[in-house]
Amino acid sequence: MRVTVNQIREMKAKGEKISCLTAYDYVTAKIVDEAGIPLILVGDSLGMVVLGYESTIPVTIGEMLHHTKAVTRGAKQAMVIGDMPFMTYHLSVEQALSNATRFIQEAGAQAVKLEGGVTVAEKIKRLVECGIPVMGHIGLTPQSVHQFGGYKVQGRTPEAATRLLEDAKAVDEAGAFSVVLETVPAPLAALITEKISIPTIGIGAGIGCDGQVQVINDILGSYTDFVPKHAKQYVKLTDIVRQAVDQFHSEVIAGTFPTEKQSFAMDESILVELKAK
């Protein structure tokens, strides 16, 4: 049975922690799904960690749908959340609705995520009214990196903290089933978690959130251009991959790959006949 929004809400009520990882392809989605992680986010972080852009801003809806389709083919139990990229929901409620529909109908996602609080509440409300579950995202919202002037901790001043609390409440009241809190001081994230009814999913927001999300490449050590402070590398995949690649390269050059084990034989008599022709 696929994870539902009600189950995610119930997890908060029961005090059960919620884990969420990003995935951008079929194979990874399958691993994450089989591990029992209830939420898989096809984040627009794919722009940086998969496509090599400098930020998430150039990511298109076409790219997001392409990767979301791969993930939904691999995930059988987890709820797959498609991240709506820059400017695909800002222009109007109609634009948000029509693009969110593509994630659900074309790509097979069960929910969408959009960045912003008070400013996108009206859009969240309409999507939810139309049957599209929404995950909110406040704090350091990477699509606004130019407005923030960099990837900075959000909510440190009294005004900014108050705004963040208002954003969280707006997302909750609009009907989102959860909200990501990104790069927010831990005590503020804990306070927001207490004050709103929906689960908070933190990334760089401390232990007081209802759940945690990470970019999978960060925990696997497979994207090393930039390693955020909030990421814990459980393995250094780039080192392991590099070792395998170096070994393959050396063996090809040395003529020791492939061996008989990786080769296919044929009937000797056919070969003899062919040689005689």
Q: What residue ranges bind ligand KIV (CB under 6 A)?
A: 22, 41, 43-45, 83, 137, 180, 182, 203, 213, 215
Task: Select the residue whose beta carbon is closest to ligand KIV and give its number.
Answer: 43
Q: Which is nearer to ligand KIV, 57 or 237 (CB)?
A: 57
Q: How far is the CB of 12 from ligand KIV (least distance, A)?
A: 18
Q: Which of 10, 94, 159, 182 is catalytic?
A: 182
Q: Which is nearer to ligand KIV, 180 or 220 (CB)?
A: 180
Q: How far is the CB of 83 from ligand KIV (least distance, A)?
A: 5
Q: How far is the CB of 61 from ligand KIV (least distance, A)?
A: 14
Whether residue 205 contacts residue 164, with contact meaning beta carbons closer than 8 Å, is answered with: no
DSSP calls for the chain = ----HHHHHHHHHHT--EEEEE--SHHHHHHHHHTT-SEEEE-TTHHHHTT--SSSTT--HHHHHHHHHHHHHH-SSSEEEEEPPTTSSSS-HHHHHHHHHHHHHTT--SEEEEEBSGGGHHHHHHHHHTT--EEEEEES-GGGHHHHTSS-----SHHHHHHHHHHHHHHHHHT-SEEEEES--HHHHHHHHHH-SSPEEEESS-TTSSEEEE-HHHHHT---S---TT---S--HHHHHHHHHHHHHHHHHHT--S-GGGS----HHHHHHHHH-
Q: Which is nearer to ligand KIV, 146 or 277 (CB)?
A: 146
Q: Which is nearer to ligand KIV, 232 or 261 (CB)?
A: 232
Q: How far is the CB of 71 from ligand KIV (least distance, A)?
A: 12
Closest C-alpha among 82, 85, 116, 87 to residue 101: 82
Q: How far is the CB of 58 from ligand KIV (least distance, A)?
A: 13
54 is catalytic: no
Q: Which is nearer to ligand KIV, 52 or 158 (CB)?
A: 52
Would you name the residues annotated as active-site residues? 182
